[in-house]
A and B are shown apart, each in its own frame.
Chain A
Amino acid sequence: MHKVWAVIRREFVERVRTKWFWVSAILGPVLFAGIIVYQIKQSVGGAVRDVAVVDSTSAKLGNQVVEALEASGSFRASLAPAGPGVIDSLRNLVESKQLNGFLIVTDDLIQTGRAEYQASNLGMQTIEALQRTLGRLVVKARLEQKGVNPGVVDWAQIRISLDQKKIAHGRAVSDSAAQSFFTAYLMAILLFMAILLYGVNVMSSVLEEKTTRIIEVLVSSVRPFQLMLGKILGAGAVSFFQFVIWGVSARVLLSLRGPIARALGANPRDIQTMSLPHIPAATLAVFIAFFLGGFLLYSAMFAAVGAMSSNEQEARQAQQPVTYLLMISYLSILGLTNDPSSTFARTLSLVPFTTPIATPVRWTAGSMPTWELALSLVILGVAIVGVTWVAARIYRVGILMTGKRPNLKELMRWVRTA
């Protein structure tokens, strides 16, 4: 056991000492801080646009449009009287960035619902906000034309707000569909990246020992299986450490949202709603369990790939089947998140090579009975034992081999005879 520890420690310490570990450790929080700052900036007035309203309606609707735009909170609006040359001078203002854009309303607005917006930047959100505001105005104007009481009109236009509750594992939790979709999606991407990156790390570490020929000294004192186990656990510990750094810094940054917002001149109360989706402890546990399981499963395969290759190029080729296996899960992420209870999703969560990603996604989306989760875990566990057994045999023969990469038939012989 002492020897396995020595291998784990070497693997961990040497990886954590590399530049790349710290680059990615720091890049995570920096990215996260960037997202927070961006969101605060958005709420502070990045979204408020200066627009001019050119009024050429006969009913002088321009004033109402300006009022409605101001009331929406997304615009600072001003009225520009229609006349010759006004469009050109407004264009110059847009050009010189004094104005974001201008809206031209004619009698068509009420009759056919047409208006024109010219701007330096036609953002989706701005267009939608304009359409929404103008829409309400037009409906109101049309109804009033037909003699409907303005009070009734306002009342009739009250917007529906849908209170969304998700039923997850028998309980209703308040969580919007978008949020659980987002959580599941994020988890799947994280799982895929971590398993791939750290699995490839195991492979290159095996390959390094082979190409530098230190392997023969090692296997004369440490059993090949101990060596492989130590490598996998060491690389796993590094990736776990990486996640911990990201997780802790994300929490710290979230708790600093208030001060950051104040520093940027925003009202801290406005951004309280902005947060990471709430992740229940059970979901976190499932995530960790399947991350560890998936990592063990795939890194055993990557270790075998490293052992059967004798240089980087060969390894890149030989790793492709393993990567494709992982890619199946990656390519299914959208399908999984869209309909987590489909036959497709259920199948993926029961196949050992796709379950590490499929099952956490289905669980997070809230459509997985507990017994299915347990079954997935058992299948994954059995697969880990089986795959590690085969990989260890390939590893044992492969690490001392030089020369030609073995074909499938030779691999089978290694597994049988090792």
Chain B
Amino acid sequence: MAEPVVVDRVTKRFAGHTAVDALSLTVPSGIIYGLLGPNGAGKTTTLRMIMDIYEPDSGTVRLFDQVGGGRTNSARIGYLPEERGLYPRMRVLDVLVFLAEAKGVSRRGARARATEWLERLGLADWRMRKVSDLSKGMQQKVQFISTILHDPDLVILDEPFSGLDPVNSQVLRDTVVEYRRRGKTVLFSTHIMEHAEKLCDRLCIIARGRKLIDGTLAEVKSTHGGKHVIVAFDGTDGNAQQIFADRRLVAKIQDFGQQAELELAPGADAQAILKALVDSGARLARFELASPSLHKIFVDLVGPEAVTATATGGGNGGSRA
């Protein structure tokens, strides 16, 4: 089966700066693929080029082995942009039917499927109400429905979790996982590594428009491995800061407050650290050998200045052209 998405050395420049620089990536069929990067890395621009909203300055996008972007294949693709909205004055059902018709679904088919989905997500009573009468969470549900109403083979989600409440986050995760189980493909972008780590089969990390690494989650972790230890304290941490500062034992530390992630120095033994901690009088709640978290790899690759941006930003700061 043809790969749903093949991006080949695409470049996009906007007045003065290069948003995406000779980026290539391939999304195989039937998986969940994460496009990761800090704000301003070029994720949205890449997805927009895939969707045929922007034309690349050079390079090509092939979807389902056909030249031409998302619009030609729009019936097979569901797209949820980062900045999403609905017509506030239209009725819920009418919006869904219209958006499905824009994808080429017949009016009657769209009505039946929209009704079914609204029922499934508990919005059946709201289908004749105006969109503006719905709460923000309900509107988000309507937006998911509009993305997958035409049962696409490929779903592209740009920062899908930004602004979602926990309940809707779960609904979205369930839908995405169920989609993959049915053999469909999901490509999504995020700057929140926890989401990516839980969901992705494969991923690609980009920064400043360039690819830093891609592969399966396991591949990425083993290439950027190193031994890692996660430590959490129960009450007193004894002499921990001093032990962690010992460069013979610990190469790098990420302190999350409640817990810390240590990257061991080459040749160091985790047991030595454990012993030193216990000897110093620290009470441990957790001491766990682990592969590095995606967040750690991300920070190592992208650099600390990008992390501050990630910590403050809830999403990309508006679109550029």
Contact = CB atoms under 8 A, between A and B. Distances in A.
A221 B318 contact: no
Interface of A is mostly: helix
20 contacts: A2-B101, A6-B98, A10-B94, A213-B84, A214-B84, A214-B87, A216-B53, A217-B80, A217-B99, A218-B99, A220-B51, A220-B52, A220-B71, A220-B79, A221-B104, A400-B53, A400-B319, A400-B321, A401-B321, A402-B318
Interface string B69-93: 0110010010111011111111000
Contacts of B319: 400-402
A216 B84 contact: yes
Interface of A: 2-3, 6-7, 10, 13-14, 208-209, 212-214, 216-223, 397, 400-403
Interface in B103-137: 103-104
Nearest to B86: A214
Contacts of B79: 216-217, 220-221
Contacts of B81: 213, 216-217, 220
Pairs A-B, 7 closest by C-beta atoms:
A213-B85, A212-B85, A6-B101, A221-B74, A216-B81, A213-B83, A220-B51
Contacts of A223: 71
Assign chain B's interface to a size class: 20 to 34
A2 B104 CA distance: 7
Contacts of A222: 71, 102
B111 to A, nearest CB: 13
B185 interface: no
Contacts, number: 74
Contacts of A10: 90, 94, 98
Contacts of A401: 319, 321
Which of B74, B84, B102, B103 has the largest number of chain A CB atoms within 10 A?
Answer: B102
A218 B87 CA distance: 11
Given A217-B80, A217-B99, 5 more contacts: A2-B104, A217-B79, A218-B102, A221-B79, A400-B321
Given A212-B85, A212-B87, A217 B321 contact: no
B104 A220 contact: no
Contacts of A213: 81, 83-85
Given A3-B104, A400-B321, A216 B83 contact: yes
Nearest to A401: B321
A221 to B, nearest CB: 4
Nearest to A221: B74
B52 A217 contact: no
A216 B321 CA distance: 14
Nearest to A397: B321
